[in-house]
Structures are given as structure tokens and as C-alpha cells.
């Protein structure tokens, strides 16, 4: 990673750090576009959603609820619950954002799972890594979702290609550097247990939110 030599990382180091992830947002974006088209969304609605929400899992949750004939409220709640984790994640990186309130607002929109995870890999959060990685992911994500809509059914069923398993592997690879030390391993194991227990009962997104309780293990001396 950057900054090992002692020189401060730059935004372009963040872009570089995110390069290995490029297939992720592109394939995930194409997949989302296909789903959005199946749910009857317009290209405009899809692009606006990708540009403002910019969080694949929540977008997927909301649109799949709509496609399954769920209510507007259910679609909104599942996405909001999934994205509530960003409140905790943004608090974690709050102190590294420079500049005015307006600038911090716009740059904070680049917080996504991948950019956030990459920016903390050196042991403390680095703003240039988060912004560089977030920018690259953003410029790939938004057009990919639009392209997915246009390609539509021609793409076939994305799960035939094993994309759902690939996303689990992506999150696992991102988790790997954090799974060091007894406390982190215990908290991760507890989170996995909570998620597994809740998956059969709770609506989409709720297991993720409640798994966050495992972070409270940090309060132990």
C-alpha cells in the first residue's frame, strides 16, 4: 500500500489502489441495470439512483423489492436499513476530511464499502485513498448501470455466471486485512452468527444492521 515510504498518499494512489476492483463495479453495475430494466425503471431513474445513492447492495435491495411487487415503503426501508451502516462508517473517517462543510459533504458521498475499506488498510484512514478509490468506482458504477439497462435481457441471468458468489468473495477479500487480532476475530464471528440467525426471519438489510451490535465488543477492557 501507499504511504509506507513515509510520503503522504495522493488521490492518484487511491485510484491505483482501487484498480484491482474495476471488474466489481462494472459487472455489478451491469447486473443492476438488467434488474432495473426488469423492474420497469427508466434509464433516467436508474442513472439518478446510481449517481445519488451510489451503493450497490441498497440499490439492489430497493429495486428487487419493487420488482417482486413490494410496496414503496418496503423498498425504501430495505435500502435505508442497508445504508444505515454508512452513518457508522462515515463517523469512523470523519476526522480525515479537510476543507469546508460543503466540500466535505460532496467528498463524503464517495464513501462506499470498497473505498472505505481500502482507505483504512494502512491502519489509519487516509483521505486521498478514499477519494481516489471512490472517484474511480463512481465513474465506473454510474455508466455501467445505464449500460446494463440497454443490454437488458441480452445479458442473460447474471446468477448463471456466478456473480452473486463473486460478490461474496469480493467482501471476503476486503475483510481479510481486518481479520487480525483476537478482538476483531471475535467480533466478526459474532456478526456472522447474528446474520445467520436472522437471515430466515428478518427482511433484507435488517440482519446487517443488527450484526453491527457485534462492534460493542470493543467496549470490553
Partner 1 sequence: MSDVWIVVIVVGAATALFKAAGPVFLGRRRLPTRIDAVVVLIAPVMLTALVVSQTFGGDEEIAVDARVPGVAAAGVAIWRGAPIVPAMAIAAIVTALIRLVA
Q: Looking at 3, 11, 43, 45, which residue binds partner 1 (CB under 8 A)?
A: 45
Is residue 161 at the binding interface for partner 1, with CB under 8 A as the rule?
yes
Is residue 208 at the binding interface for partner 1, with CB under 8 A as the rule?
yes
User: Mask: binding to partner 1, 123-152, rule CB under 8 A, as x and -?
Assistant: ------------------------------
Say if residue 147 is exposed, middle or buried (CB neighbours under 10 Å; 0-12, 13-18, 19+): middle
Q: Looking at 30, 136, 146, 191, which residue binds partner 1 (CB under 8 A)?
A: 191
Query: Among residue numbers 8 through 27, which ones bind partner 1 (CB under 8 A)?
Result: 20-21, 23-24
Of the pair 3, 107, the CB lying nearest partner 1 is at 107
Q: Looking at 30, 142, 149, 170, which residue binds partner 1 (CB under 8 A)?
A: 170
For residue 141, the minimal CB distance to partner 1 (Å) is: 13
Distances from the Cα of 112 to the Cα of 86, 96, 118, 144, angstroms: 8, 16, 10, 16
For residue 178, the minimal CB distance to partner 1 (Å) is: 4
Q: How far does the chain reach from its first CA to its final CA, in angstroms?
A: 31
Cα distance between residue 76 and residue 58, in whole Å: 9
- Residue span binding partner 1 (CB under 8 A) among the ranges 6-14, 142-150, 187-195: 187-195
For residue 5, the minimal CB distance to partner 1 (Å) is: 22
Is residue 162 at the binding interface for partner 1, with CB under 8 A as the rule?
yes
User: Mask: binding to partner 1, 107-126, rule CB under 8 A, as x and -?
Assistant: xxx-x-x--xx--x------
Of the pair 8, 162, the CB lying nearest partner 1 is at 162
Amino acid at each position: 500500500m501507499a504511504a509506507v515510504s513515509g510520503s503522504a498518499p495522493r488521490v492518484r494512489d487511491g485510484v491505483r489502489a482501487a484498480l484491482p476492483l474495476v471488474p466489481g463495479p462494472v459487472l455489478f453495475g451491469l447486473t443492476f441495470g438488467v434488474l432495473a430494466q426488469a423492474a420497469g425503471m427508466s434509464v433516467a431513474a436508474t442513472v439518478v439512483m446510481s449517481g445519488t445513492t451510489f451503493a450497490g447492495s441498497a440499490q439492489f435491495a430497493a429495486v428487487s423489492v419493487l420488482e417482486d411487487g413490494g410496496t414503496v415503503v418496503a423498498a425504501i426501508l430495505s435500502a435505508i436499513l442497508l445504508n444505515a451502516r454508512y452513518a457508522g462508517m462515515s463517523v469512523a473517517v470523519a476526522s480525515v476530511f479537510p476543507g469546508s462543510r460543503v466540500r466535505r459533504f460532496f467528498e463524503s458521498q464517495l464513501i462506499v464499502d470498497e473505498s472505505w475499506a481500502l482507505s483504512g488498510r494502512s491502519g489509519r484512514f487516509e483521505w486521498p485513498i478514499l477519494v481516489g478509490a471512490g472517484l474511480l468506482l463512481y465513474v465506473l458504477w454510474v455508466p455501467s448501470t445505464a449500460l446494463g439497462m440497454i443490454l437488458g435481457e441480452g445479458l442473460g441471468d447474471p446468477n448463471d455466471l456466478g456473480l452473486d458468489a463473486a460478490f461474496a468473495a469480493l467482501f471476503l477479500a476486503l475483510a481479510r486485512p481486518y481479520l487480525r487480532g483476537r478482538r476483531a476475530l471475535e467480533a466478526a464471528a459474532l456478526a456472522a452468527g447474528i446474520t445467520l440467525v436472522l437471515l430466515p426471519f428478518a427482511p433484507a438489510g435488517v440482519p446487517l444492521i443488527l450484526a453491527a451490535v457485534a462492534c460493542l465488543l470493543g467496549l470490553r477492557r
